[in-house]
Amino acid sequence: MECNCDHYVENNYCLNCGLYIETELNFSSFSKNQPKISSSKNSILDNLDIPEIVKKKAFENISIKEDDYGKKVRNDCKNTFIEIYNAYLQCGILDFNPKDITEMLNLKRKEVNWCLKLASGTSLQEKEDTYEENLNISIVIISPTSYLKSICKKNNIEEHYEKLVSKSKEILKKKDILYASRPEYVACAITKKYCDVNNIPLKCFGKNNNISDNALKKCIKEIDNFF
């Protein structure tokens, strides 16, 4: 029923209409079956295996957006990726691998591309606050060398890691256009070619590293003349 009274309250009663008005909500009066709204929802950030300095910076950025700029940051995987990505760069940690964050958050490639565009300011989506506009975040170019350690571990050739890194840096210095290719594919191609030249057996290489034979052959052609 709609009430048109302006309510003049004294001792919790309206002196005009007699309505009892409680100014404080006592949750102890709720029954166990009544729903309660909780504001203590765990952040996705809490459960991620990332450096504490990065996690702390991400939380600080979220607080600034919400408290100083009044912008609610949704607690979902895509927004969490953006906050972590920006926090890494603001902490001066540039050798991180966004793919690791992607796997932690179970994001698809299309979702990650959207996140990277928004985080770097290259998205066509209009910014909603001045805070993000002033960050001037840049896209991180991932080097193929970032994938070599995991590739060596998957294929039991960890003793060749240092030589693969050295060879990869040599190739990338002479042919920096390879940075425009998928870094994990370039890393796989260099590893495969190195092992073939040095008669190092690799079992199920494509399957172990999630790369098709055609993609691997195509990428090997790009680095073939360096061996």
What confidence category does residue 114 fall into, taking pLDDT thresholds of 50, 70 and 90?
confident
Lowest-pLDDT choice from 10-14, 41-45, 102-106, 216-220: 10-14
The pLDDT value recorded for residue 182 is 82
The pLDDT value recorded for residue 102 is 84
The pLDDT value recorded for residue 108 is 82
Q: What is the pLDDT of residues 159-205, one digit of tens each?
A: 999 999 999 999 998 998 887 788 889 999 999 999 999 999 998 89
Rounded-to-integer distance, Cα 155 and Cα 145, Å: 16
Question: Who wins on pLDDT, 89 or 139?
Answer: 89
CA dihedral 129, 131, 134, 140 (to 10 degrees): -100
Q: Enumerate the domain spans of the chain.
A: 46-133, 144-226
Residue 14 clears pLDDT 60, i.e. is over it: yes
> pTM for the whole thing?
0.48
Residue 54: CB atoms within 10 A of its CB come to 22
Give φ, ψ of 10 to 5 degrees: -145, 125
Residue 50 clears pLDDT 50, i.e. is over it: yes
Residue 135 clears pLDDT 60, i.e. is over it: no
C-alpha distances out from residue 44 to 68, 74, 87, Å: 22, 10, 15
Give φ, ψ of 20 to 5 degrees: -85, 125
The pLDDT value recorded for residue 126 is 45
The mean pLDDT value of the chain amounts to 77
